[in-house]
Chain A
Amino acid sequence: MKVHVNMDICLLHGQCVIAAPEIFSFDDNGDLHWVEVIDDSQVADAEAASDACPEQAIILG
């Protein structure tokens, strides 16, 4: 599964980093990073992160 974050609407709430820390992280500058291709074992976490995003900025596909 592919993970994408629409940075035009992301407001850096960080809920994805809480829901799926193996996929989403902040660097020391506060920029969001994410794993772009995940395996099946991470899909549930990615969906939880997507649901937890107040801006609906996470696109899975």
Chain B
Amino acid sequence: MAGPRITVVGASLAGLRTTEALKAALPQAQLTLIGDEPHAPYNRPPLSKEVMESFAGGDTDETEAFSKLLLRSKLMPEDASIRLGVGATGIESAGVRLADGSLIRSDWVIAATGIRPRRLPLPGNEDIRHVLRGFDDARALAPMLQPGVRLAVIGAGFIGCEIAATARKLGLHVTIVEPGPQPMMRALGPRVASAMATLHRRHGVTLLTGRSVEAFKPGRVFLDNGKEIEADVIVEALGSLPNTEWLAGSGAELSDGVLVDDTMRAVGASSLFAVGDIARFANPLFDDVPRRIEHWCIPGQTAKRAAQTIVAIEAGETPEPGFAPLPSFWSDQYGMRVQAFGAPALAETQTVVEGDLSQIGEAPVIVEYARDGALTGVIGLGAPPALIAKHRARLMAALTPKETA
């Protein structure tokens, strides 16, 4: 008997892991993995760091650079039909409509279409404005990053800050323009964000906080305080938007990503699942508020969960309740790793429990994050793995799944 037709949209980390998990558990399933990029699924974190550096050096073969990013896949060629270079344009009762007009008939659809960078809605300087999300973006930006070049980074989130750090290492003059009061403020909280600002300035970055871009003129960026900065290259790093337009009309709740229950099944569209950056779900470790999480570990965790759910339903069983992955993220800047566990962004208070934030980048620092007196997260700054592991274990013990309404 033929197995269910399952279409995974998005040849990303999340899409690949979902397809692999489905193949392993439902060998008879008819799997299709589609992706709008021409590339096979690859790993993105090195794009702002190692890949940028090696491309800027000019001596790296593109094929070789990509081969280091390529995700090792457990799929055999006969396991799934993989269609690259063609995106999904819509979802219909019969299946998924692709940009080339074809229809992939599907019993189940998994949305793994990820996010794209937000752009500034301002004209001008188009020839020198870049974003960084995919391999092709890195390939376009990196050759511009030459010593002495003036780089303006708009937005001091993780991507913006990592690009700034890489660019300083490559000998560029770097200015960051950030509308908020500190870099990476939402994720790290004011105390650590302020220390990170110091770290960037100490490494020679001109960091302008509380400033936004008003206009672009050839080679110049005009700020809201009337000042202007000269730039040879501009990177827009102002966060991201979920790629969910193709799901319009599916019945799913798409106000910010795809609202899913704790089995990754879309609320309002029972044959649709969402995984990775676009899945908005509540994590009972913290509360019952659904959130999208743009961390590297989430694609793998949500992929497994979605696959388990489909396997259970196909077997006529109820999926096991409860999904409470411990969030974890990291960022490497100036040779220092920021390593976080839990949800520092939900905290009201931050307490330095080891080291001293004035020594950031020079000696290990551990910061604890709490809400209503309860630990929500821990961050290590340049801290050795064993030290972080100790504090992570303490966090795990403090976080117990809460009853959701």
Provided the pairs A51-B300, A52-B297, A54-B296 are in contact, do residues A30 and B17 lie with their beta carbons within 8 angstroms? no
Which of B174-182, B235-243, B346-354, B383-391 faces chain A? Answer: B383-391
Interface SS majority for chain A? loop
Task: Assess whether A13 is in contact with B330, with CB atoms less than 8 Å apart.
Answer: yes
CA–CA, A54 and B298, complex, Å: 12
The interface centre, meaning the residue of A12, A13, A17, A56 with most chain B CB atoms within 10 A of its CB, is A13
Task: Assess whether B385 is in contact with A12, with CB atoms less than 8 Å apart.
Answer: yes
B45 at the interface (CB under 8 A from A): yes
Give the chain B neighbours of A51 by CB distance below 8 A.
Answer: 17, 300
Task: Assess whether A30 is in contact with B297, with CB atoms less than 8 Å apart.
Answer: no
B125 at the interface (CB under 8 A from A): no
Interface size on A, residues (CB 8 A): 16
CA–CA, A18 and B328, complex, Å: 11
**Which among A30, A32, A56 is the interface contact of B72 at CB below 8 angstroms?**
A56
CA–CA, A60 and B32, complex, Å: 27
Task: Assess whether B297 is in contact with A17, with CB atoms less than 8 Å apart.
Answer: no
CA–CA, A14 and B45, complex, Å: 16
Task: Assess whether A14 is in contact with B388, with CB atoms less than 8 Å apart.
Answer: yes
How many interface residues does chain B have, given as a range?
Answer: 10 to 19
CA–CA, A56 and B69, complex, Å: 9
Taking CB atoms and an 8 Å cut-off, the chain B residues in 51-66 that contact chain A are none
Taking CB atoms and an 8 Å cut-off, the chain B residues in 352-402 that contact chain A are 384-389, 392
Task: Assess whether A26 is in contact with B328, with CB atoms less than 8 Å apart.
Answer: no
CA–CA, A26 and B384, complex, Å: 10
Provided the pairs A18-B392, A56-B71 are in contact, do residues A30 and B385 lie with their beta carbons within 8 angstroms? yes
Task: Assess whether B43 is in contact with A56, with CB atoms less than 8 Å apart.
Answer: yes
Give the chain A neighbours of B385 by CB distance below 8 A.
Answer: 12, 14, 17, 26, 30, 32
Residues of B within 8 A of A (CB): 17, 43, 45, 71-72, 296-297, 300, 326, 328, 330, 339, 384-389, 392
Besides A13-B339, A17-B389, A26-B386, 13 other A-B contacts (C-beta < 8 A): A12-B385, A13-B330, A14-B385, A14-B389, A15-B297, A17-B385, A18-B392, A26-B385, A28-B386, A30-B384, A30-B387, A52-B297, A54-B45
Residues of A within 8 A of B (CB): 12-15, 17-18, 26-30, 32, 51-52, 54, 56
Q: A-B pairs with the 9 shortest C-beta distances?
A: A30-B384, A26-B386, A30-B385, A26-B385, A12-B385, A14-B385, A30-B386, A51-B300, A28-B386
